[in-house]
Structure 1
Amino acid sequence: MSKTGLQYILLEKVEQALQQMELPDSPISLYEPYKYAMAVGGKRIRPLLTLIACGLCEGEIDDALPAALAVEVLHNFTLVHDDIMDSADTRRGEQSVYKKWNENTAILTGDVMFADAYKHLHYYGESDKFSKQEFAAMHHIFSRSIITVCEGQALDMEFVDRIDVSNKEYLQMIGGKTAALLSGSLEMGAVAAHATHHKRAELAELGYEMGVAFQIQDDLLDAIADPEKFGKRPGGDIYEGKKTYLTILALERADDVEQKIISNTLEQDEPTEEAVEQVLEIMGDLGVLKDVDNETDEHYQKAFDLLSKFENSEYKIELEKLLNFLRKRDH
């Protein structure tokens, strides 16, 4: 996504604030991996959403920066620990902390990042701009987001050994893993702007709808996207035996023969291209691809409907652009 003027300004604020974080040099085995994890980059979507939400609620953007830093450090902490659980060698094209150092270092690095993320929220307790209730709200939203992310990750791990995952359970899982921190990022930005409980709730819901839409859209693109744009061959999740929204819906709708074909393909360590194509064909015949496309659109539309309740501003336009970009993406 090309950066607009306002988006560029907000992202610059985030990057400058990240660079100005005062991290100790010692112990080097703790803080060097921390600095490395943060320097690898990323789209900075979550802190951007925090700042946009603050502007949307007519707040002072700089007051939302500590919350933006908290969510970005937290997000990167989850990636450091995810790479341990997945035994992932790379992250964003570079060696993961787990691979570059070792598992123990990655665990401890994640731990200090988790604690440091909370430290950024101290601003709201120390500044006389914020009430005791608003300081408590920041902590409550942040803690709730973390717990929900962990619950989503736990469900995802449980699903690996289960064959009876329902679409409702899958939505609960991605509501945690993907949507929770987007939701929290927006709601914390609203708190930084002294927004009403009602506006905070609307932004929290908007973030949830955005996150769910993004994830089931990702599952769909895995099946139908141009491999040159998406970066992997069609049906990559099927080759890897992953349970996605598409395979879960297909199994619920399939007859006994089709269920056996899908299950057998997912259970194989190295399924053939013919087998994967057969599963994709079954998904198409059962209307799964079309219905997931429609459902993705419904979630994005709910996000737009929530956004329409806010006053017109450059921040509203920016969030509309982001939603439209995500809605129309093809990889």
Structure 2
Amino acid sequence: MASNLDQYLSRELKEASEKVKSFLEKTLTIKKPETLYEASIYLIKAGGKMLRPYLTLKSCETVGGETFKAIPVAAAIEMLHTFTLIHDDIMDEDPVRRGVPSVHVKWGLPTAIMAGDLLFAKVYEVTAEELAKRNVPPEKIVKVVGLISKTATIICEGQTLDMSFAEREDVSEKEYLEMIKKKTSSLFKTSAMVGGLIGGGLDWQTERLGEYGELLGVAFQIVDDVLGLEADEKTLGKPVGSDLREGKKTLPIIFALKNANQQQKKIVLNAMRENSTPKNILEAKKVIEELGSISYATKKAEEYIEKALEKLKELPENQAKKSLENLARFVVERKF
């Protein structure tokens, strides 16, 4: 991260990450059976951007709340996210996550499934018990649990849509956007809303934060799709081109298939097979770039970020709000 802005955001992300990780390490203390707890905290220790917990904490601060009270729910959001990653890697058969072997590769399928299930259960345990210890009113805790529960359902719907798209060549941009709003964006939205709730925000402030989070999440996923084709594999922490091999219908791929001639379409579809070769992937990436898919997707992500920033305008002017604005800009400029 070269600019002063990036350095400042990087420092803030690190500070938030350390607070949340410290809480999670206490929550997921290694005990018998050791392998279950080691597998559960493995990806959390491996790294990750911790954008969602950061979003929760800064949303809380934006409406005048105390970060201390929001840490448990920020940690719960990260556990929910990690649960989805573990199960997602199993379904996609991805061997690498965050630059290390996936949980199911390191510990096997049964332990990986149980590790994900443990994290999912801990989400609710932590939210209910730890928020109460920090004097969060019971009615707010009920609202937070309700939001998280609803989001978990929506994520499952999005994941199912994503898997179903692999069998189709005619997925539209509208369908894609509906899918990522469920699979990815819904958790960004909830991350912001629970922060607003815990922070004592007015109803309309919490709604604006949620709208900001939803738009941010859409942009995040579009950029993720671009990076899945363009990024350096070591920097990204997972195989580049895996979306193609798995038949994923990302925005760059949807745009390419829609605008390709017969020969170009054949090249792209040829790469979208389990047994596609590195050469197939490179040829498809070249066609996708030549058709303008990368620039189209990048522009679309930038449009969503501008809409997200608009949602923040009515909120109080403070440093936390500036941090949310910086986060939005980071999402479209990031390389990992």
Task: Please say whether Structure 1 and Structure 2 have the same fold, judged by a TM-score greater than 0.5.
Answer: yes
Mapped to 1, the partners of 2:242 and 2:35 lie a distance apart of 37
Q: Which residue of structure 2 aligns with residue 65 of structure 1?
A: 71
Cα pair distance change 1:175/1:27, threshold 3 Å: same
Choose 1 or 2 for highest CA Rg.
Answer: 1
Specify the code of the residue in structure 2 equivalent to 1:303: A
Pairwise CA distance, 1:258: 4.8
Q: 1:312 aligns with which of 313, 317, 329?
A: 317
**Do structure 1's residue 88 and structure 2's residue 94 form an aligned pair?**
yes
Cα gap change, 1:228/1:193 in structure 2, threshold over 3 Å: closer, same or farther?
closer
Quote the Cα distance in structure 1 between the aligned partners of 2:81 and 2:137: 26
Residue of structure 1 in register with 2:177 after alignment: 171
304, 326, 331: which is aligned to 2:331? Answer: 326
Q: Is the 8 A contact 1:124 1:135 kept in 2?
A: no
Q: How does 1:221-300 map to 2 (within 5 A)?
A: 221-223=227-229, 237-238=243-244, 241-254=247-260, 258-267=264-273, 269-270=275-276, 273=279, 276-277=282-283, 280-281=286-287, 284-285=290-291, 287-300=292-305
TM-score (norm 2): 0.85
SS where residue 31 of structure 2 aligns?
coil
The separation in 2 between residues aligned to 1:284 and 1:272, in whole angstroms, is 18
C-alpha spacing 1:51/1:88, structure 2 compared with 1 (3 Å): same
Q: Is the 8 A contact 2:61 2:67 kept in 1?
A: yes
**SS, match of residue 182 in structure 2:** helix
**d(CA) in 2 for partners of 1:35, 1:254:** 44
- Matched-pair contact (CA < 8 Å) for 1:235–1:280: no
Q: Map Cα deviations across residues 215-262 of structure 1 (whole Å, 9 max, x no partner).
A: 212333445567886689986644664322122123234455554454
* Range with greater deviation from structure 2 (126-135 or 48-57): 126-135
Q: Distance in 2 between matches of 1:166 and 1:273?
A: 27
TM superposition shift of 1:28: 2.7
Aligned match of 1:111: 117
Equivalent residues of 1:89, 1:96 under 8 A apart? yes
The code of the aligned residue for 2:157 comes to E
TM-score, structure 1 normalization: 0.86
- The one-letter code of the counterpart of 1:310 is L
Task: Kindly provide the CA deviation profile for residues 123-162 of structure 1, in whole angstroms up to 9, marking residues without a partner as x.
Answer: 4773694444322210121012111111111111111111
Task: Say how many residue pairs are matched.
Answer: 330
Counterpart mapping for 1:95-244 below 5 A: 95-123=101-129, 126=132, 129-223=135-229, 237-238=243-244, 241-244=247-250
Deviations 1:260-289 (A, max 9, x none): 45434535833674885477446644x544
Q: CA deviation at 1:325?
A: 1.9
Gaps of 5+ in 1: none
Letter in 2 for 1:190: G
Measured in 2, the distance between the counterparts of 1:17 and 1:138 equals 19
Task: Point out the more displaced range, 176-185 or 24-33.
Answer: 24-33
Identity within the alignment, %: 36
Change (3 A) 1:227 1:311: same
* Alpha-carbon distance in structure 2 between the residues aligned to 1:58 and 1:91: 36
Paired position in structure 1 for 2:23: 17
**Paired residue for 2:36, among 30, 35, 42?**
30
What corresponds to 2:4 in structure 1?
Answer: none
Secondary structure in 2 matching 1:20:
helix
Q: Residue deviations 1:292-322, cap 9 Å, x none?
A: 2321111010111112221111111212222
RMSD: 3.0
Q: Could you tell me whether the CA contact under 8 Å between 2:58 and 2:195 is conserved in 1?
A: yes
What is the CA-CA distance between 1:59 and the residue it aligns to? 0.7
